[in-house]
């Protein structure tokens, strides 16, 4: 079984929308309201790459798009990247997100001049925390009420890793 990543395409919109509509994404705030909404997000990807602000990928597992991993470079913190990910729930627990983060790190190390990577996750998001730990990130702090999902504020852990 092989996990690969490739840049997202506008034609991924239906798949992304379907997966993000799941009620089981309880710690995830970036849910599109419609397929059109998702298409508009995906259309901005080439511009974000040119600006070096975001590099978003689809995750391909056994030739199936099982969804997304990406890195965002925060304005004013040019050497730090924030990693995010989500996976089709049919494919949870197979190590795909962990593999995808490692593939993304290969891309980052070869193409971007980043020094530090961060992953934030809600305190209760144990699967996401495991991914950070398995990929060699260390817990650096707890950020109070950083994430708002459906009108509920969640404290988030910050995990970090120095890569160069
Ligand atoms: C978080 C998410 C990306 C994990 O994807 P995945 O492909 O299943 O992750 P992996 O299989 O690589 O690793 C998951 C790890 O978490 C563990 N895990 C899963 N659910 C868990 C739970 N409820 N409690 C404790 N550990 C859990 C798995 O056992 C595995 O660890 P292990 O390899 O030591 O056994 C997926 O659940 C998801 O898309 N969730 C919704 C969106 C989201 O929360 N994204 C992250 C925002 S920070």
Domain total in the chain: 1
Of all residues in the chain, what percent carry a pLDDT higher than 90?
A: 93
For 66-80, write each residue's pLDDT tens digit.
999 999 998 899 999
- Rounded to an integer, the average pLDDT of 105-132 is 97
Structure-model confidence comparison of residues 30 and 142, the more confident one: 142
Ligand 1: distance of its center to the CA of 101 in Å?
12
Which residues contact ligand 1 via a Cβ below 6 A?
25, 27-28, 85-87, 92-98, 121, 125-128, 130-131
1 has a pLDDT exceeding 80: no
Give the distance from CA 102 to its chain's centroid: 12
85 has a pLDDT exceeding 90: yes
Predicted pLDDT at 119: 98
Q: Which of 130, 135, 136, 150 to mutate to test the pocket of ligand 1 (most atoms within 8 A of CB)?
A: 130
Position in ligand 1 atom list of the atom nearest CA 94: 11
Position in ligand 1 atom list of the atom nearest CA 128: 1
67 touches 25 (CB < 8 A): no
For 120-131, write each residue's pLDDT tens digit.
999 999 999 999
Average model confidence (pLDDT) for the chain?
Answer: 96
Nearest to 83 by CA among 68, 64, 67: 68
83 touches 69 (CB < 8 A): yes
- Rounded to an integer, the average pLDDT of 9-21 is 96
Predicted pLDDT at 75: 87
Report the distance separating Cα 163 and Cα 105, nearest Å.
Answer: 9
Predicted pLDDT at 91: 97
Q: What is the DSSP string of 74-98?
A: -TT-TTEEEEEEEE-GGGTTSSHHH
In degrees and rounded to multiples of 5, residue 32 shows phi and psi of: -70, 150
Which residue is it, tokens 């901005």? 44
Report the distance separating Cα 146 and Cα 155, nearest Å.
Answer: 6
11: domain CATH number is 3.40.630.30
Q: Which of 93, 103, 150, 154 to mutate to test the pocket of ligand 1 (most atoms within 8 A of CB)?
A: 93
59 has a pLDDT exceeding 80: yes
Q: Print the domain residue range for 37.
A: 3-162
Report the distance separating Cα 107 and Cα 5, nearest Å.
Answer: 10
- Rounded to an integer, the average pLDDT of 111-137 is 97
């Amino acid at each position: 079984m092989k996990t690969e990543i490739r840049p997202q395409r506008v034609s991924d919109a239906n798949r992304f929308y379907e997966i993000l509509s799941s009620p089981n994404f309880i710690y995830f705030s970036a849910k599109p309201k419609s397929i059109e909404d998702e298409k508009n997000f995906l259309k901005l990807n080439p511009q974000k790459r040119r600006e070096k602000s975001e590099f978003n990928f689809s995750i391909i597992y056994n030739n199936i798009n099982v969804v997304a991993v990406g890195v965002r470079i925060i304005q004013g913190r040019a050497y730090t990247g924030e990693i995010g990910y989500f996976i089709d729930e049919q494919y949870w627990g197979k190590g795909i997100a962990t593999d995808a983060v490692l593939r993304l790190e290969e891309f980052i190390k070869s193409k971007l001049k980043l020094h530090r990577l961060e992953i934030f996750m809600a305190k209760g998001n144990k699967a996401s925390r495991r991914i950070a730990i398995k990929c060699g990130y260390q817990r650096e702090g707890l950020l109070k009420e950083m994430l708002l999902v459906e009108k509920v504020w969640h404290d988030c852990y910050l995990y970090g890793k120095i890569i160069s």
